[in-house]
Structure 1
Amino acid sequence: MATFLFDKVIFGPIKSRRLGVSLGVNLLPTDQKLCSFDCIYCECGWNPKHRESKPIIPTVQEVSEKLEAQLIKMVEEKELPDVITFAGNGEPTLHPNFDKIIDITIALRDRFCPKAKVAVLSNSTKITSKKVVEALKKVDDNIMKLDGGTNEIIDAIDQPVGEFDVHNMVKLLKQFDGDLIVQTLFMRGSYNGVSVDNTTREEIDAWIECIKEIHPRQVMIYSLDRDTPAEGLIKVELDELKEIASYIVEKIPNDIKISAN
Structure 2
Amino acid sequence: MSTVIYPSPIYGPVHSRRLGLSLGVNLMPADGKICTFDCLYCECGFNKDRRTHSPHPTRQQVAEALEKQLIKMHDDQQHPDVLTFAGNGEPTSHPEFSGIIDDTIQLRDKWCPKAKISVLSNATFSGHDDIRQALLKVDNNILKLDTVNMDYIRKVDRPTQPSYNVKDIIENMRWFKGHVIIQTMFMKGDGTDNTGEEYVAPWLEAVKYIQPQEVMVYTIDRETPDQKLRKASHEELDAIRDRVIALGIPCTASY
Is the shorter-chain TM-score for this pair beyond 0.5, marking a shared fold? yes
How well do the aligned residues superpose, as a CA RMSD in angstroms? 1.3
Residues in 2 aligned to 1:19 and 1:99: alpha-carbon distance in whole angstroms: 22
Residues in 2 aligned to 1:151 and 1:23: alpha-carbon distance in whole angstroms: 33
Residues in 1 aligned to 2:237 and 2:49: alpha-carbon distance in whole angstroms: 34
Counterpart of 2:198 (choices 194, 197, 202) is 202
Q: Confirm or deny: 8 A CA contact 1:218 1:258 kept in the other structure.
A: yes
What whole-Å deviation, never above 9, does each CA across 1:161-182 have from its counterpart, x for those lacking one? 0221111111111110111100
Corresponding residue for residue 80 of structure 2: 81
Pair 1:239 & 2:235 matched: yes
Corresponding residue for residue 44 of structure 1: 44
Residues in 2 aligned to 1:24 and 1:100: alpha-carbon distance in whole angstroms: 17
Structure 2 residue matching 1:168: 3-state secondary structure: helix
Residues in 2 aligned to 1:60 and 1:259: alpha-carbon distance in whole angstroms: 33
Corresponding residue for residue 147 of structure 1: 146
Structure 1 residue matching 2:47: 3-state secondary structure: coil
Corresponding residue for residue 224 of structure 2: 228
Of 72-81 and 161-170, the range deviating more from structure 2: 161-170
Residues in 2 aligned to 1:234 and 1:120: alpha-carbon distance in whole angstroms: 26
- 1:79 aligned partner, one-letter code: Q
Residues in 2 aligned to 1:170 and 1:55: alpha-carbon distance in whole angstroms: 33
Residues in 2 aligned to 1:50 and 1:197: alpha-carbon distance in whole angstroms: 26
- 1:28 aligned partner, one-letter code: M
Structure 2 residue matching 1:101: 3-state secondary structure: helix
Q: Normalising by structure 1, what TM-score?
A: 0.94
Unaligned runs of 5+ in 2: none
Of 228-237 and 10-19, the range deviating more from structure 2: 228-237
Q: Percent identity?
A: 47
Corresponding residue for residue 98 of structure 1: 97
Once the two structures are TM-superposed, the CA of residue 183 in structure 1 deviates from its matched residue by 0.3
Corresponding residue for residue 181 of structure 1: 181
Residues in 1 aligned to 2:50 and 2:229: alpha-carbon distance in whole angstroms: 25
Structure 2 residue matching 1:40: 3-state secondary structure: coil
Q: Normalising by structure 2, what TM-score?
A: 0.96
Once the two structures are TM-superposed, the CA of residue 12 in structure 1 deviates from its matched residue by 0.4
Residues in 2 aligned to 1:209 and 1:169: alpha-carbon distance in whole angstroms: 14
Q: Confirm or deny: 8 A CA contact 2:142 2:181 kept in the other structure.
A: yes
Q: Confirm or deny: 8 A CA contact 1:144 1:181 kept in the other structure.
A: yes
Residues in 1 aligned to 2:243 and 2:126: alpha-carbon distance in whole angstroms: 29
Corresponding residue for residue 32 of structure 1: 32
When the two structures are aligned, how many residues end up with a matched partner? 253
Pair 1:71 & 2:64 matched: no
Once the two structures are TM-superposed, the CA of residue 49 in structure 1 deviates from its matched residue by 6.4
Residues in 1 aligned to 2:54 and 2:215: alpha-carbon distance in whole angstroms: 33
Unaligned runs of 5+ in 1: none
Q: Confirm or deny: 8 A CA contact 2:8 2:27 kept in the other structure.
A: no
Runs (4+) of structure 1 exceeding 4 A deviation are: none
Q: Confirm or deny: 8 A CA contact 1:11 1:23 kept in the other structure.
A: yes
Residues in 1 aligned to 2:185 and 2:12: alpha-carbon distance in whole angstroms: 23
Instruction: Go from structure 1 to structure 2 and tell me whether the alpha carbon gap of 1:126 and 1:159 turns closer, same or farther (over 3 Å shift).
Output: same
